[in-house]
Structure 1
Amino acid sequence: MDRRWWGAIIVATVLLAAIVIPNIPGRRIAGSPSAGAVPGPPSTGDCVTWIADPWPRFDNPAPQIDDVFDYPTLTVGPCDGGIVGEVVSAAADPAPPARISATDYLSQISQCPIDAIAYTGSIAPVVQTPSGTSIVWAAQPQFRYTRVGPGRAQRAQGQHWSACLIGSVDGVPYSGRLEGVFTDGTLPAAFGTCLLSTDPSRTDQLSCDRPHPAELLATTTLGPRAVSAADVRQSCVDFAGRALRTSDPTRDGAVRIEVVVLRDWGVEVVQPGSEPLADTFVGCVAVAQHGAMLIRSLIGVADGPLPTG
């Protein structure tokens, strides 16, 4: 057939489709178009899959007093995958400002660590030594707190609330939950303070999901009253038992609990016969033995298998 005939047939077909197809009766959908659903306020325990993170602006260089930015917002999602944070408290307060200065934001965030204690639980910090001295240890989880408010669409709907979030210091997604983590949970790897080496002169940290030989469990600052090395070491062992939630934090010799002290010239392991300690900063460290490497935080492992690999 001549090409001109083929061309004529194609043109006729296109014209016929243009006339007939728009007039074919179809199923009509009742109703009128509407905007997408706007999420309501978050609730305590909600998992957060995205945060408009304000913290990078606070890192090197620090923000100026008059640095103003959009008030942080969040997206809530399922808890069964990677999340970047959890809601530790929410209140139907007057909505925070749409934009806020750096100094005002820092003042608003101060309540969040307090609210988080009720959410995560806590490790009893005060340890009484055999000689009667009390040493107050501070656990060292890598938490970061963020205060958020309604997004633009939520504000347009008249929502007014604020919420405190807990998440990792670098915003890396994690698996697991922080609710009740210090009472009946295990600390997700993103939040442990794990160490690259057992050498006290090297304090490089790495993610706890990477093989590591040691973990910093807690720190304390000793006052002017001298405390014997033996008392400090025993209090560290006692606190480690609370942190791991076990009566034997050494796990029958599989873990060594050590005290390290920060000197002007470096870091030193405190031995049982060391000089009494005063006016100094010390750490309580768990060290895997027999060449084993840990692959998760030890906090909360209780009497289950040690996370070695």
Structure 2
Amino acid sequence: MTRRWWGALIAAVVLTATIVVPNVPGRRIAGEPVAGVVAGPPSAGDCVTWMADPWPRFDRPAPQVDDVMDYPTASTGPCPDPGGGPIVGEVVSVETTASPPARISATDYLSQLAQCPIDAIAYTGSIAPVVDVGGGTSVVWAAQPEFRYTRVGPDRAQRARGQHWSACLIGADDGSPYDGRLRDVLTAGTLPPPFGACFSAPDLSTAEAVACDRPHAAELIGTARLGPRPVTRDDLRLACVAFAGRALRTADPTRGGAIDIRVATGPEPATDPVVDSFVSCLVVAPPGTSFARSLIGLADAPVPAG
């Protein structure tokens, strides 16, 4: 009997709904339906608020030809005013005639990405790498900002509107958001914290990587690979000091002893002169002190003590 009662009740509710609901006056909105706004192609210098991250698939051994992925996309637009919130990247360059596929093999993607670091040099600027140490010998330093490049294309809605383009983006190596801008950062700006290579100690063989906006003892500003021509340790340190002056953009990168400039060699045994070795150029805080941010682009500002 109970089951019959419930069945009758449900039938009554359904019947009532079919009669009443169509006659309940609804809220009508005047006007014509409008399609959602679809962003146009990005422009060089735009800021990135979100981007797809294709890089986890490259953390394992080299991807295979049949490893296919969606072509990365991103949300871009005009950069916010200073203090208007962090971003995750910037648009370095745009190819307005490119037609990237909706899906691409990982190996083909790496080939398409190869131009991005080259385009980025004109965007971020660069630190002059060659330091002459005399006798026809030079040390060629490679700056070590933690940049990562991603090539993106139109999303599904943009493709449906017939957009054809690809863009090179620059961001932090770990995808961290940041304040500040990377345009001309190596020639006129100061490096935002996620892009520095900062460490808990000067001995890189045992030190831990540290975020550059946290107290840290050392920052790696350059590396070099020496060939068979010998370079004395004194000349190597002078070359490191010269490169540090360019990176910090100051005539005295030691700041009268407030910053120690060191060369680390290894893991090869220490020799003098040095040949066929990988060497690092470091800025180091004096004992008992630390830095509070990257020193690249410090110029004449006070040393940021941690």
Identify the TM-score tier after normalising by the shorter chain. Answer: 0.7 to 0.9
The secondary structure found in structure 1 opposite 2:237 is: helix
For the pair 1:45 / 2:45, whether they are aligned, the reply is yes
1:262 Cα deviation after fit: 0.8
How high is the sequence identity, in percent, across the aligned residues?
Answer: 62
For the pair 1:302 / 2:299, whether they are aligned, the reply is yes
Quick one: distance in 1 between partners of 2:268 and 2:184?
38
> Residue by residue, what CA displacement relative to the aligned partner does 1:161-196 show, whole Å, maximum 9, x if unpaired?
010000111111111110010111000100100011
Q: Which amino acid aligns with 2:295?
A: L
Moved more, 70-79 or 234-243: 70-79
Q: Which amino acid aligns with 2:108?
A: D
For the pair 1:196 / 2:197, whether they are aligned, the reply is no
The secondary structure found in structure 1 opposite 2:119 is: helix
Partner of residue 25, structure 2: 22
User: 2:181 pairs with 174, 177, 186, which one?
Assistant: 177
Q: Using structure 2 for the length normalisation, give the TM-score.
A: 0.87
Structure 1 runs, 4 residues or longer, greater than 4 Å off: 17-21
User: 1:111 pairs with 108, 111, 115, which one?
Assistant: 115
Q: How many equivalent pairs are there?
A: 284
In structure 1, the gaps of 5 or more residues are: 1-16, 269-273
1:201 Cα deviation after fit: 3.9
Is the 2:199–2:208 Cα contact (8 Å) retained in structure 1?
Answer: yes
The secondary structure found in structure 1 opposite 2:265 is: strand
Q: Which amino acid aligns with 2:44?
A: T
Is the 1:214–1:294 Cα contact (8 Å) retained in structure 2?
Answer: yes
Quick one: distance in 2 between partners of 1:64 and 1:115?
27
User: 2:223 pairs with 219, 227, 233, which one?
Assistant: 219
User: 1:277 pairs with 274, 277, 294, which one?
Assistant: 274
Is the 1:131–1:231 Cα contact (8 Å) retained in structure 2?
Answer: no
Quick one: distance in 1 between partners of 2:263 and 2:144?
14
Distance of aligned partners of 1:224 and 1:152 in 2 relative to their CA distance in 1, 3 Å threshold: same
User: 2:264 pairs with 260, 263, 282, which one?
Assistant: 260
Q: Which amino acid aligns with 1:282?
A: V
Is the 2:249–2:298 Cα contact (8 Å) retained in structure 1?
Answer: yes
> Residue by residue, what CA displacement relative to the aligned partner does 1:251-273 show, whole Å, maximum 9, x if unpaired?
110000000001346xx6xxxxx
1:223 Cα deviation after fit: 0.4
Q: After superposition, where does 1:56-205 map in structure 2 within 5 Å?
A: 56-77=56-77, 78-79=79-80, 80-199=84-203, 201-205=205-209
Distance of aligned partners of 1:157 and 1:259 in 2 relative to their CA distance in 1, 3 Å threshold: same
Is the 2:268–2:277 Cα contact (8 Å) retained in structure 1?
Answer: no
The secondary structure found in structure 2 opposite 1:183 is: coil
Is the 1:95–1:150 Cα contact (8 Å) retained in structure 2?
Answer: no
The secondary structure found in structure 2 opposite 1:252 is: helix
The secondary structure found in structure 1 opposite 2:25 is: helix
In structure 2, the gaps of 5 or more residues are: 1-19
Quick one: distance in 2 between partners of 1:199 and 1:193?
13
**Cα-Cα RMSD:** 2.1
Q: Using structure 1 for the length normalisation, give the TM-score.
A: 0.87
1:81 Cα deviation after fit: 1.3
Partner of residue 239, structure 1: 243
1:69 Cα deviation after fit: 0.4
Quick one: distance in 1 between partners of 2:112 and 2:144?
23
> Residue by residue, what CA displacement relative to the aligned partner does 1:217-246 show, whole Å, maximum 9, x if unpaired?
100000001111111110000000000000
The secondary structure found in structure 2 opposite 1:232 is: helix
Quick one: distance in 1 between partners of 2:29 and 2:152?
42
Quick one: distance in 2 between partners of 1:131 and 1:237?
19
Quick one: distance in 1 between partners of 2:233 and 2:268?
18
For the pair 1:288 / 2:285, whether they are aligned, the reply is yes
Quick one: distance in 2 between partners of 1:56 and 1:133?
41
1:29 Cα deviation after fit: 2.1
Distance of aligned partners of 1:213 and 1:162 in 2 relative to their CA distance in 1, 3 Å threshold: same
1:21 Cα deviation after fit: 7.4
Q: Which amino acid aligns with 1:119?
A: Y
